[in-house]
Every structure is written in structure tokens, then in C-alpha cells.
Structure 1
Amino acid sequence: MSTTERKIASAVVPDELRLNVLPRYLGRHYFAGESLVYDWAGRLDRSYEGGHWDFFTLSNDGFYMAPSNQGRVHVRWHMNGYSDMMGADAFGITVTLFALCHLAEKTEDDTIVERYHQLREYAAQHVEAANILRAID
């Protein structure tokens, strides 16, 4: 990391504050965005069967969602040949990136595009950055 790059911090959103997270970050597209996250989870992990997800905010004003209480996940994406294991947090980042990209294409909303880039910047600093970036390539 160069001296011009800043370390981006993440923080889990407490349960009592979750209700406002998606409307804040996705605006009027929050319902479609949440649905796309769960849809992409099923596309990238064939064993995904739902469950509780944590919401995370980022110090660069981004956000992501990640499944709670889940171990490592075997992620496969046929469009780029990616197939590897990653932790639940990295899986959540990957899934949220796919969902944001999809939502940005559907809505052509610059705010959604910005959310994608904020999360992508964080993903590049993540401990599993190599896996995340290979999966979304």
C-alpha cells in the first residue's frame, strides 16, 4: 500500500440500526439491491440456502453485506472460470460487488456505481483480496 492510499475500516451495523442501512446506501433501489445480494449468493455458492446476514459500513462511505455464522464457502463463477474457497466475509464482499454491478446496470444510477467503487476499494485491501478480485474479474 502506498503512502497515498488510506486504510479503509469496516464496522458491523448493530441489529437495532439495520433497518436504515440499505435505504441510506441504495436509496429507492434498496429492495431490489437486497434481493440481488441473495440472488447472487445462490448463483456463486450452489449450497447457499439463506440465513441471517450482517451489514457492514465502511469508512469511505461504502457498505456490504455478509452471511453470519458461516464458515468457508466454495465459490464458483462459470463466466470467468473462478472456483475456490473463501471466508464468509470475503464471500459477502464478492456477492455484494456482483449485486451492485448488476444493480448499477439496471438503474444507471451514479450513486450505485459509486457504492460499487467504494466497496471495490475496500476489497482490494481485504485479507482475501486476491480471491475477491479473481472472483469478480
Structure 2
Amino acid sequence: MTMTQDRITSAVVPEELRLNVLPYYLGRHYLTGESYVYDWASRLDSSYQGGLWHFFTLSNGGFYMAPAKASRVHVRWHLNGYSDMMGADAFGITVTLFALCHLAEKTLDDAIIERYHLLREFAVQHVESANILRAID
């Protein structure tokens, strides 16, 4: 018997709806969660200097943030020895996973833990899944 997994899709959040995204997905932790995303971006990419980020919703109920820049990023994480290039979308997924994990540790909030797992389900299907998973391992 062959099991097929439904493909999880992402959709960019229109500019006029962005203000509601983080409060919806992170609840009362939305300001801390957003700051964790930017902090992790600078930890994982030494050349990161801020900029516009897109918000994405996932068909499985998850979300993530990714830099609007289209260039590839050199990502390094010293605790697991990861060092490689990835696209901005994969970088955003990776950074959001790190931020959600960090936020879950700090808050012990089951909803945040669920958001992490929903995003990881999407990450496994991403075209750059091998890089994302190596980076977060």
C-alpha cells in the first residue's frame, strides 16, 4: 500500500493584512517572536543587516517569514557545524524554525510548539529541504 502525502502550499500575505499575521499565529508572544526571527537571521547570516520581510501562510495552518531579497544567503550555525548557501525562502523557513523553537522553550506554549511542527512539515517538502533540515539539526 502506498501512502501519499498532501502537498503543503504557501501563500504570501498581502501588505494590507500583515499587521494581523503575527498576533494570529503567535498570540501574546508576537512581539517577542518577531524579534527572535530578526535575531536568528543575524546569528545565522553574518551579513544580515535588516530589510523587508514577507509573511507566508501555509495550507496546513502554519506560517513563516522570509526576507524579500531574492539573493542566496550563506548560512552558518556553529553549534552543529552547518555552513552552506540557501535561497531567501529557505533561509526564512530556517530562521523562523529557530525562532519558534526558541520561543517555545521560553514560553512553554503548546500553540507555539504546534506552529513549529506545522512549519517543519512544510520544510520537509521544500525544494531546499536537505539544507533546511541540516541547518536546524
Identify the TM-score tier after normalising by the shorter chain.
Answer: over 0.9
Letter in 2 for 1:56: F
Match of 1:68 in 2: 68
The percentage of counterpart residues that share the same residue type is: 79
Task: State whether structure 2 residue 14 is matched by structure 1 residue 14.
Answer: yes
Match of 1:93 in 2: 93
Instruction: Compute the displacement of 1:6 (Å).
Output: 1.3
Letter in 1 for 2:110: D
Match of 2:112 in 1: 112
Instruction: Compute the displacement of 1:4 (Å).
Output: 3.8
Aligned counterparts, 1:1-137, within 5 A: 3-137=3-137
CA RMSD of aligned residues (A): 0.8
SS of residue paired to 2:125:
coil
Instruction: Compute the displacement of 1:5 (Å).
Output: 1.6
Contiguous gaps of at least 5 residues in structure 1: none
Letter in 2 for 1:39: D
Instruction: Compute the displacement of 1:70 (Å).
Output: 3.4
Letter in 2 for 1:43: R
CA distance in 1, matches of 2:69, 2:82: 24
Give TM-score scaled by structure 1 length: 0.98
CA distance in 2, matches of 1:5, 1:113: 22
CA distance in 1, matches of 2:69, 2:4: 35
CA distance in 2, matches of 1:21, 1:100: 15
SS of residue paired to 1:51:
coil
Instruction: Compute the displacement of 1:3 (Å).
Output: 2.9
CA distance in 2, matches of 1:22, 1:3: 34
Moved over 3 A (4+): none
Contiguous gaps of at least 5 residues in structure 2: none
